[in-house]
Structure 1
Amino acid sequence: MIDTVLDILSIRKDFPILNRKVNGYPLVYLDNAATSQTPQKVIDAIVDYYSRYNANIHRGVHSLSQEATDAYEQARKKIQLHFNAAHTHEILFTSGTTHGVNLVANGFGSFLKEGDEVIVSALEHHSNIVPWQMMCERSGAVLKVIPMNLEGELVMEAYHELLSDRTKLVFCNHVSNALGTVNPIKEIIEAAHRVGAAVLIDGAQAAPHLKADVQQLDVDFYVVSAHKMCGPTGVGVLYGKEEWLNKLPPYQGGGEMIAEVTFEKTTYAELPHKFEAGTPNICGGIAFGAALDYMNAIGFEAIAQYEHELLEYATKELLAIEGLRIYGNGKEKTAVVSFNIEGLHPYDIGSILDKLGVAVRTGHHCAQPIMDFYKIPGTVRASFSFYNTKEEVDVLVKSVKRAQAMLS
């Protein structure tokens, strides 16, 4: 059994919040696709920073500033090694995935002209659609969409037909936040490169479940958020190939990103500082490094294996409920189950689940085009992490049945 690989009860003790009650019931936290919970080691790293060496970085000669700088840059190195980037300066700290996407969209827009084409997928989060629409409006480029099928997978034949010498950028998520579908990004990247297009992959939903090797993928840009990976909110990373980051203009102006400033002309700092204007989320970056240490100590292969078992068990048990339909049944999925019950609104189900201590997400999950495709207002989304248990799945199933009885 997989339980011999991961000591789940021991792991759960690392997460203080899992001990609390909600509405008098033990918390069953199944909203991990929105944000994961934080282990004590990461909390301790945050407290340690503010307790012992809180100072601004890079510019100070005093000891606290040097300690903070060292810890922050050590975290950048950890992230480089985790994603196998070729250089540490290819790792840019951001406020999260959305920031990283907008940074690329803002800079890439300066390369586009009327008639150029940008391709996104039908499975995207709103933050992976709106920046590209804004970029196309400014540049005159045309936005094309890879369609999806009823299983929640991309229609790859259509993608290959969309590609042409007019394609300048392809954007796709590694994993759908709404359905859990794992997209064939290696194929997407290789095909885009054959026509000379750059590729940005949103790894926010993939990074908690698997390790992406950016060099093996040969991806041009890859973005993630720390809070999906047992880290704090308000910090993330944009990986970019050195050649592309040197081409892109700065996203923001301010301190830290300059080499020299006069009223006549400003020259910009070298990578990565060119894109890191102002005082960053120093503590967040350090804590992100601590979160990666924690997850790597557990092991991503063991995490993926255990979460797949949870996914299969939850899928089987939920489908036994009369009238329940799961959306997103791709061959490759992470531990996400998006479902509805015939005749019931997902918000009503979610509200009752909350009263029973079960935290799920309801609505369109910032992926309204997916819901429009299925002609539904939204779904109930249960998303699992390595600290969840089969017993919690049983509580979910029991609570869904109770909600169904109350609402029918």
Structure 2
Amino acid sequence: MVDISTGAVRHVNALGSSVASDLFQLLRDGKARTRTELSAMTGLARSTVALRIDALMRLGLVAPVGDAVSTGGRPSSQFAIATSGRVVLGVDVGASHLRVAISDLTGGILVQSTERMHVTEGPEAVLSWVIAETHTLLAGLGRTAGDLLAIGIGLPGPVEHSTGRPINPPIMPGWDRFDVPGYLNSSFDAPVLVDNDVNIMALGEREHAWPEVDHLIFVKVATGIGSGVISGGLLQRGAQGTAGDIGHVYVARGANVPCSCGNRGCLEALASGPALARELSTTGLAATTSQDVVELVKRGNIDAIQAVRQAGRDIGEVLTTCVSLINPTAIVLGGSLAQAGEHLIAGVREIVYTRSMPLATEHLQITQSKAGPDAAMLGASMLAIHHALAPESIEAMVALTTR
């Protein structure tokens, strides 16, 4: 096999499926290559490369993209990852919206659809719409369910990643331990990857704006507060999938403020959109949601600006500990309250840059999400792509074609 990071040749098994996997991993960078170039990179016979390229083409993963420049004689064909073959499905389930998108294997969205639906309507209603809409979108592309390589889905609550089941989600009545992969597999013969919405937003943000950054914290500030942690280039989920749940970290300023989790003093009880709206409503302002708070800030309301700035300080207090533990290159703020812009970010920066060690903040960027509302959709698609195109997945598919 070929170590993709070094180009060194490692052991190749007798079936040769790992050869196809290695060739495909080389082609995932998007660069077209000839059989001769691939043979030189891997040290494999050109005939072996040709056989495995053919297998990848039969699977719809690789396609010819034209001829290389001729050095005399017949020009050689070039091959690259197929963008018109197999596809993945990304699903973003929000508290009050649903989005589905069909993407090619590079993450490019081919078609998408949005529906206003509350997650409180329950898993069967939500997922039935996802299934029906996916069939409609596939048909519009001239594709079938058999073209789906994988499905990625983000949910607005805690998810046990190993099973894909939501666990005691506070804003998702009827969803506790519901078999989301099983329900979707009743209609699609493709692996289903389920994660919480903040984790997939972290994946989407990194793919969209920070592809070269291996250490990033994405913070969603909306109805709740949570974070997705990427360290060493990998999304960190922890033992049970709850890594990054900073919304229920204790903040001394709110020692007596009750939280929906049953404790007091949680960050979410102080700095989330509804928490700020409640605070502002006591001053006579009309505010019940995160968006109401954002609109007040945009209109220049001083009370709202000061409340958002303080929320940033509270979030910064928790993130200071995260900076010491993880030493990220970037902290990215997203979610509906992040639309308040620099006022929220300024509060975070004020605390993090003041209280963290200078070495940890020397190159640290604290900024607003560049992917914005598309972060979750991009992340859901990448969740599916990373699974579908992993070496073991490619090997399994090629093995089936060579039996």
Question: Which protein is bigger by CA-based radius of gyration?
Answer: 2
Q: Normalising by structure 2, report the TM-score.
A: 0.29
Indicate the structure whose relative CO is greater, using CA pairs within 8 Å and at least 6 residues apart: 1
Q: Normalising by structure 1, report the TM-score.
A: 0.29
